[in-house]
Amino acid sequence: MLTLYTADTPNGQKITIALEELGLPHTLHHVNLNAGEQHQAPFSEMSPNHKIPLLVDDATPIFESGAILIHLADKAGKLLPASGEARSVALQWLFLQVGSIGPMLGQLWYFRHACGTQSVVALERYHRETLRLLGVFEARLRDTPYLAGDAYTIADIASFPWICSHHELGITLNDYPAVADWLARIEARPAVQRGLAAAKP
């Protein structure tokens, strides 16, 4: 039995989308981050970093969204090649999201919306880095329909919720037509729409 503890954030949306795409039966628990439920038992006892998402597969808790995506894809035998170069490429693009897209766009969102005082230096830094990363995606998606190549994978699922928040970050995709096309194609998928809806409390 799969149980997902999540919230309506890009990292939480990744997993609700993946579960819908993979068709895996599961139970959802929404964690109220504003109320600090992530720091309270039983969640805090299962998630060492007190962050969502958290997946419990039978009695085994799995934290960190990238690890959860790999676990689910391998469990279902879909959305991630089982071995070889194709798997390596998908994992490289997945970890680009985990290591760069999430942290950089997350910091830009924080300094635009949640920081008590405006920091021009921080906004400029994270805005510039976000544009650079969009350029990396643009170059890739000019050559391939999806991040890992011809097939839609968990690499796309991981990056989609972050990139689709570009309006909140004060960024348009006018200079990134391949990214905009990729975003629209993923957003139109019925499972993606169900996954976004499921993430809402």
pLDDT tens for the chain, 201 residues long, are 999 999 999 999 999 999 999 999 999 999 999 999 999 999 999 999 999 999 999 999 999 999 999 999 999 999 999 999 999 999 999 999 999 999 999 999 999 998 878 889 999 999 999 999 999 999 999 999 999 999 999 999 999 999 999 999 999 999 999 999 999 999 999 999 999 999 999
Q: pLDDT tens digits, residue range 154-187?
A: 999 999 999 999 999 999 999 999 999 999 999 9
Alpha helices in the chain (DSSP H): 10-22, 43-46, 65-76, 84-96, 102-109, 120-143, 154-163, 177-187, 190-199
* Interatomic CA distance for residues 102 and 79, integer angstroms: 20
Domains and their CATH numbers in the chain: 2-78+192-199 (3.40.30.10), 84-189 (1.20.1050.10)
Residue type, 194: R
Strands 54-57 and 26-30: unpaired
* Interatomic CA distance for residues 160 and 122, integer angstroms: 24
The model's pTM is 0.96
Task: Give the bridge partners for 57, in sequence order.
Answer: 2, 60
Helix axes 190-199, 177-187, angle to 10 degrees: 80
Q: What six digits make up the tokens of 40?
A: 């309270």
Residue type, 137: F
* Interatomic CA distance for residues 53 and 4, integer angstroms: 7
- Sequence length of the chain is 201
**Contact criterion met (CB below 8 Å) for 52 and 9:** yes
* Interatomic CA distance for residues 20 and 192, integer angstroms: 7
H/E element, 116: none
